[in-house]
Structure 1
């Protein structure tokens, strides 16, 4: 009788884990990304609550019939160092042109920069647990310092990309190392 419930439960848990991306591999790359133009709303508090801001920006863009490209969020603080209620972030969409906006909406240009990109097919609530640790390990291994906030891009195919800008003394060596991590 125990196995009658155990086997379906394990199968269901496995399927849910697969669906959410728990078992998906993380690709690590070094790339030049940007420039981006982002329409956003500011958020203070738990990072997992940023979705409401992204949805509000999406609604504004839809109402104005402005094409949106990619949903995204920028995270300014390390949750290991900053109290939950003080975490700062911005959620919104990348767009292709400058807009006239009023508070609480804003727009910013994100310049082209060299970033570590961690890419995973996973639910946006699962992706940070899979990607940030890999990025931190890579940065420690190569004695790198981040040079700006983290950006997450939520692609239409269920892929989440995390971009972390950094300073590097030997960029080509790091690119070769990142390529070897994918193999």
Structure 2
């Protein structure tokens, strides 16, 4: 009986380790500063728990697909508040999809129906993490955010400002961008 329990425990540990590795647990996180941005965002403003991100990304995705015939491959969230400092019910974010390959007339048409803006092209603290599903997002929260926090402390950068996560499905990565706020 003890042997069976030991085998079950070893198998469960092996499964957890395999899942951890598959979803990016051993991925090295490189944090750097670089100019990024310029994407056209179609989004909804959301107040509440950041765990709702997937629901709102899907909502915008299906509105664009079903109502406009626009297929997108990148979702995003712009998160304005630190969940360790702000009550879950008051967290502010913008959640949606990045639209690509549209001309100014098409963008103006979308702006008449949805919230649309171009994300600022400036210098950000950035990092990337593999995207293989929801578990990658959870691991990214643990691994990437701590590395970004460490980087901004080491380089004297303000911890104020929003952070953006881009869920780049075709390239299988999550891109993190932390605003560099001048104080």
**Pairwise TM-score range, normalised by the shorter structure:** 0.7 to 0.9
Equivalent of residue 35 in structure 1, options 1, 17, 38? 38
Instruction: Give the whole-Å Cα distance in 1 for the aligned partners of 2:25 and 2:47.
Output: 27
1:41-66: CA deviation from partner (whole Å, max 9, x where unpaired): 12211112111110011101112112
Where does structure 1 lack aligned partners over 5 or more consecutive residues?
169-183
Secondary structure at 1:92's aligned position in 2?
strand
Label 1:93 to 1:165 Cα distance change in 2 as closer, same or farther (>3 A).
same
Does residue 154 of structure 2 align to residue 141 of structure 1?
Answer: yes
Q: Contact 1:68–1:95 (CA<8 Å) still a contact in 2?
A: yes
Instruction: Give the whole-Å Cα distance in 1 for the aligned partners of 2:24 and 2:126.
Output: 17
Q: Contact 1:48–1:125 (CA<8 Å) still a contact in 2?
A: no
Equivalent of residue 61 in structure 2, options 46, 54, 58? 58
**TM-score normalised over the length of structure 2:** 0.83
The Cα of 1:147 is off from its aligned counterpart by: 6.0
Aligned Cα RMSD in Å? 1.8
Secondary structure at 1:124's aligned position in 2?
helix
Aligned length in residues: 166
Which sits farther off after the overlay, 92-101 or 32-41? 92-101
The Cα of 1:117 is off from its aligned counterpart by: 0.7
Partner of 2:139: 126
Partner of 2:179: 165
Does residue 97 of structure 2 align to residue 86 of structure 1?
Answer: no
Secondary structure at 2:40's aligned position in 1?
strand
